[in-house]
Amino acid sequence: MTFCRSVRTRRKSFLRSPTSITQTSLNSLNSFDPTEYSNPPPELDRIDRYFAIKDLEKAKKLAWHQGVEPPFISWNGLRTKAAKPVYTYYFENKINMNLIDDYISSEIMKTCETSISAEFMSFFDDIYGDFVEIARGKLVGISTTLHESMWEAYKEGFFPCGWKGEFPNGKLCVFFPVLASK
C-alpha cells in the first residue's frame, strides 16, 4: 500500500522511553474490538451519518485509486494530510518513530491477523495502516478530525474507505458487508 510505505519512510529521532510509548498506545487502542466485524450490529441506524458503500468493488476503488470522480476525493491524499500534524509533532519533539514501528506496529499486526474477518480481508493493509496512524496520534495526544471519524467508524464495525464531498463538511464513506447482502 503506497500510503503505508510513504509513512514508514518518515522516521525521526526519539525523546520518550519505549515503555511509556508502547503502554500509552496499547491502552489507547484497548477500546477497539476487531472481533466485532464478525458479529454485525442488530441495528444499522448509525450508518446514516456515513455514506454507506454496499459494493465491494466501489469500496476498493474509493480506498485505493487516486483519480476518483467528484463528489469523492482521494482517500490516500486525505489520510496523508491527516497524518501531517502527527508527524510534525514527532519531528518537532524529536520523537523516534522506530519505537512505534518496531513494537506497537507489531502488536497491531498480531491483532489484525487474528481478528479481521474474511469480509474485510481485502482491506487488511488499509486497516492495519489506519490503526498504526491512529495509534501514533493517540500516543502523543493529537487527534485529527479525520482520524476521529475513522476511529468511530471502526469501533462501530464499519470500514472507512473514502470521503464524499469537501472535507470536513462531507461524509465519511464506509463499507459494511452486511449492507451488501441486503
* Alpha helices per DSSP H over 9-52: 18-29
Q: How confident is the model at residue 45 (pLDDT cuts 50, 70, 90)?
A: low
Of 22-26, 111-115, 116-120, 141-145, the one with minimum mean pLDDT is: 22-26
| Under 8 Å between Cβ of 21 and 97 | no
Query: What burial class does residue 101 get, using C-beta atoms within 10 Å of its C-beta: 0-12 exposed, 13-18 middle, 19+ buried?
Result: middle
Stretch 114-128: mean pLDDT:
93
What is the pLDDT at residue 128? 96
What is the structure's pLDDT at 48?
82
pLDDT of residue 180: 47
Nearest to 166 by CA among 71, 60, 53: 71
Which pLDDT belongs to residue 178? 65
* H/E stretch holding 117: none
Grid cell in block for residue 121: 480481508
The confidence score (pLDDT) of residue 100 equals 72
Residue 65 amino acid letter: H
Higher pLDDT, 13 or 156: 156
Give the span between the Cα atoms of 127 and 125, in whole angstroms: 6
- What does the pLDDT look like over 155-176, one tens digit per residue? 998 999 999 999 999 999 999 8
If you average pLDDT over every residue of the chain, what do you get?
Answer: 78
- pLDDT tens for 75-110 read 999 999 999 999 999 999 999 888 777 888 989 999
Of 61-65, 75-79, 96-100, 115-119, give the lowest mean pLDDT range. Answer: 96-100
Q: In the chain, where does DSSP find H-type helix?
A: 2-8, 18-29, 56-64, 75-92, 98-99, 105-115, 124-139, 145-155, 177-181
Pick the residue with more confidence: 44 or 64?
64
